[in-house]
Chain A
Amino acid sequence: MAAPPSAYKDRQFLAVIGDEDSVTGLLLAGVGHVTEPPDSQRNFLVVDQKTENSTIEAAFERFTQERKDIAIVLINQHIADKIRHRVDTYTAAFPALLEIPSKDHPYDPEKDSVLKRVRRLFGE
C-alpha cells in the first residue's frame, strides 16, 4: 500500500512553524522560500506570544493540506502543544511532520506524536 510516486515527487521544500529564533536559524540554513509574487506565500511562520492559535492552525492546515510542494513540516514542540489535537490526529505520510525543540523549551519525547505511536505499537 505504498504511496504512489505522485504523492511526493514534487515535494522539495521544508516548512517551519516556530518561534523567532528557531525560524531564523533554519532560514539561515537556507530553507526559506517565498513563492512567485501573485500569491506570495512564505513557507515559514513566526509564532510569538501574541500569535493566535487560529493563525497557527491555519498555517498548519496550509502546509499539510494545501501546498503540494512541501516535504517536511517542522514545528516547535511548544507550539505543537498549542494545537496538539491537530498534530495528534495528523497521520498522513506526506508531508512528514517533525516536532523540534526550541531554545527555551527542551525536547520532551513524551509529547511527540510519532513517539506516542511508537509506544502504542510496542504496547508500553
Chain B
Amino acid sequence: MSGAGARESVFPTRQVLGQMKSKLKGAQTGHDLLKRKSEALTNAISEITRRIDEAKRKMGRVMQIAAFSLAEVTYAVGGGNILYQIQESAKQARFRVRTKQENVSGVFLPAFESFTTEGNNDFGLTGLGKGGQQVQRCRETYARAVETLVELASLQTAFVILDEVIKVVNRRVNAIEHVIIPKTENTIKYINSELDELDREEFYRLKKVSNKKERDAAAADIEREAQKKKDDSSNEEDVDEEGRMQMKDLLGDQDNEDVIF
C-alpha cells in the first residue's frame, strides 16, 4: 500500500481511478500552461524594469531643466511672490490623466495617458506685469516634465501589478507541481494497489471455488464408478445375451456369404 505521501480520501474503484487519471492529466496541462505564462510575464516585467530605469534617469534630467526654468521665472519676476500667486490661483486641473488598459499575456495592465482639458487656464494673468515669456516657457517645460512623470507612473503601476500577478502565478505553479500532482499520483497508486489486492483476493477465491468443484466432481465420479460397478455386476448376464443377439441380427442375413471380388 502506498501510505507514504498524502492522498485524497476516495473510495478505490475503477471509476475513481479514471477520474484521478484525468485529473492528473489536467493538472499537468495546467502546470505547463501556467509555467509558460509565468515565463512570459517575467519577460514582460524585465522589459518594464528596464524602461523604468531609463525613465527614472530621464526624469532626473527633465526635472532639473524644469527647475532651472522656474528659477528663471522667479528671477525675471523678481521675488518669491509669484510662487504664492501661482499656488493660490490654481483652481481647476488643466492637466489630467485617463487610464486605458493594455493586455499583457492575459493580464490587464492599466496605463495612464495624459490629456489637457481645453478652455480653463488658471494662469492666464500670471506674469502679466513682468516675465510673461519666462512663465510661458516654464509652463511648457513643466508640462513636458509631467508627461514624463505620467509615463513613469504607468510603468511603475504596471510593474506593481505584474509583480503581484507573477507571485500568484508562481504560487499556483508550485502548488500544482509540489502538492496536487504528487497527491493525485499517490491516489492513483493507492487505488491501483487496492484494486490489485481485490484482484488477488478474487483470483484466490475463484481458485478455491474451482478446487472445491474439482474435489466434488472427483468424489461424484468415484461414487458413480462404484454405483456403475454394482449395477454392472447385477446386470452382466442380460447385457451379454442381448449384446450377442444384436451383433448377430444386425443385418439379418447370416445366410448370405460375403462376396469377394
Chain A residues with a Cβ under 8 A of chain B: 1-3, 5, 8-9, 11-14, 20-34, 42-44, 46, 71-72, 74, 91-94, 96-98, 100-103, 106-107, 109, 112, 114-115, 117-118, 121-122
Is B131 an interface residue when CB atoms closer than 8 A count as contact?
A: no
Is B95 an interface residue when CB atoms closer than 8 A count as contact?
A: yes
- Residues on B with beta carbons closer than 8 Å to the beta carbon of A23: 87
Q: Is the CB of B163 within 8 A of A117?
A: yes
| Number of residues from B at the complex interface, CB < 8 A | 60
Indicate whether A103 sits within 8 Å of B67 (C-beta atoms), given known contacts A12-B97, A26-B142, A46-B87: yes
- Residues on A with beta carbons closer than 8 Å to the beta carbon of B60: 101, 106-107
Pick from B64, B86, B143, B159: contact of A101, CB below 8 A.
B64
Q: Is the CB of B164 within 8 A of A12?
A: no
Q: Is the CB of A9 within 8 A of B149?
A: no
Pick from A13, A46, A74, A122: contact of B149, CB below 8 A.
A74
B122 CB to closest chain A CB, in angstroms? Answer: 7
Pick from B46, B49, B145, B150: contact of A72, CB below 8 A.
B150
Pick from A9, A29, A117: contact of B142, CB below 8 A.
A29
Q: Is the CB of B70 within 8 A of A2?
A: no
Q: Is the CB of A29 within 8 A of B143?
A: yes
| Bitwise interface map of B from 78 to 119 toward A, beta carbon under 8 Å scored 1, else 0 | 001011001100111111111101000001111010001000
Pick from A20, A28, A93, A94: contact of B139, CB below 8 A.
A28
Q: Is the CB of B90 within 8 A of A14?
A: no
